[in-house]
Amino acid sequence: MDNYMQRGGLTWGTNLFVNTTSPCAEIQVFPDKIVFKVNFLRICKKEIVLNKNEIIKIEPTSCFIKGFRFCHTSMKADEVLIFWSFSLGKLMDNLIVMGYEKVIQPK
């Protein structure tokens, strides 16, 4: 498998946060990077790329909705990145298959 893609929602930002609901965001998991894409009615388009070596940890979050927070060191990406979907178990399995098991934090 070269990559895995899943649709869902994304919360991102540094001081102010932006939310998009499912299915306006997607995550693409590659062995060497993770790509987040947002396309909301052609009004809001965004692409965020985290290289594997920039990802410090991936931790479950359940503030209002269950998702994964991606903690990273990238200077090009927003500080807060939370991807949420209705298939987090499948996403977790594919993160492990792609080699991210060392940065995944338990619940």
pLDDT in tens, 35-82: 999 887 667 788 999 999 999 999 998 777 789 999 999 999 888 899
Q: Note if the pTM is more than 0.75.
A: yes
In the chain, where are the structural domains located? 4-97
Query: Given this model, what pLDDT does residue 91 score?
Result: 94
Q: What's the Cα-to-Cα distance from 96 to each of 38, 64, 86, 90, rounded to whole Å?
A: 24, 25, 18, 10
The more confident residue out of 23 and 43 is: 23
Quote the pLDDT of residue 46: 85
Fold of 4-97: PH-domain like (2.30.29)
Task: Count other Cβ atoms within 10 Å, centred on residue 94.
Answer: 18
Q: Mean pLDDT across the chain, nearest whole number?
A: 88
